[in-house]
Amino acid sequence: MTSQNIMSLEGVGMQFGPFHALSELSFEIKAGEVLGVAGPNGAGKSTLLNVCTGGLCPTSGKVLFDGREITGLPRHARCAQGIAMTFQIPTVISSLTVAENLLVGRSFGGSHQHDFDQIVEITGLGPVLDAEAGTVDLLARKTIMLGAALATGPRIVFMDEPLGGLNAEEIQDFVQIIDRARQAFGVTIVMVEHKIRALAEIADRILIINFGKFVCLDRPSVVLNDDHVVEIYLGKKHDA
Ligand SMILES: Nc1ncnc2c1ncn2[C@@H]1O[C@H](COP(=O)(O)OP(=O)(O)OP(=O)(O)O)[C@@H](O)[C@H]1O
């Protein structure tokens, strides 16, 4: 992992009418890292992902990619620059084959696309390449979505709750696929995830937000032992 920053948020806020979903968020994402993003329901995690990937334009502050401002850039333009996203509910094109879904991903990418065969090898999708994407199981659909994202040739992939709905064995399998993608392509991964123990195993650092505000950003061992984080998840400590 290098210490060079690939993306920075500077004082980012997102208001929906009078409601502040994000307030004054500032932090950096390091090139090559796996950054976990966690926080209670409604903390603003999905809003944050959308602000980073172009689904939402923040109402204040700046988003920088490689030092250049991309705050108002739409999703397709960010994708062409190397910013991809996978969604909580797998968005595959059910009537196309698995291979065709990966090729659709390629058609949205920029100039630095990864080798198709290497994506198939990393994702392990080889045995189901000719199957209709709507017929495969949840893990395979999540893997197709990641494969299609990788096919765009991203430098950073934002993943919204990638482990949701998977059992313990499937979580291990999917985490390994994510790790292989990171090793092979040097891609930076940002994962919003409720399963904080699983997140701690794969993430280099974890960002905690609450009520749209920055709480802490550090190594998993530090974050999981942070009193404020424990309080957010478990409630205030009471003297016996
Ligand atoms: N388009 C919108 N209009 C109004 N309020 C919104 C909109 N999108 C999100 N919100 C509100 O912003 C807050 C943050 O939502 P967000 O989905 O980002 O939280 P989250 O941390 O991803 O939650 P969860 O863990 O439950 O998925 C919530 O209170 C939500 O109701």
Give the position, in ligand 1's atom list, of the atom nearest the Cα of 19.
5
Mean pLDDT of 84-108: 88
> Ligand 1 atom 3: the closest Cα is on which residue?
16
Examine the pLDDT at 65 and tell me if it is beyond 50.
yes
**Eight-state DSSP code of residue 132:** B
> Ligand 1 atom 6: the closest Cα is on which residue?
16
Examine the pLDDT at 207 and tell me if it is beyond 60.
yes
Tell me how far apart the alpha carbons of residues 2 and 15 are, in angstroms, rounded to a whole number: 34
> Ligand 1 atom 5: the closest Cα is on which residue?
16
Tell me how far apart the alpha carbons of residues 23 and 13 are, in angstroms, rounded to a whole number: 4
* pLDDT confidence of residue 109: 65
Residues in contact with 179: Cβ distance below 8 Å, sequence separation at least 6, in sequence order: 202
Q: Is the CB of 95 within 6 Å of ligand 1?
A: no
Domain assignments of the chain as residue spans, ordered by start? 5-234
From edge to edge, which strands make up the β-sheet containing 83-86?
83-86, 156-160, 188-192, 34-38, 205-210, 213-218
* pLDDT confidence of residue 105: 81
Q: Is the CB of 39 within 6 Å of ligand 1?
A: yes
* pLDDT confidence of residue 3: 60
Rg of the chain, C-alpha, whole Å: 18
Mean pLDDT of 138-144: 96
What is the per-residue pLDDT across 155-196, written as a single tens digit (0 to 9) for each? 999 999 999 999 999 999 999 999 999 999 999 999 999 888
Calculate the average pLDDT of the chain: 91
Query: What pairs with residue 27 in β-bridges?
Result: 9
Phi, psi for residue 54 in degrees, rounded to 5: 100, 5
From edge to edge, which strands make up the β-sheet containing 68-69?
19-30, 5-16, 60-65, 68-69
Tell me how far apart the alpha carbons of residues 5 and 12 are, in angstroms, rounded to a whole number: 17
pLDDT band at 113 (very low <50, low <70, confident <90, very high): low
Amino acid found at 140: A
Assigned fold of 5-234 = Rossmann fold (3.40.50)
Helix (H), strand (E) counts: the chain: 9, 10
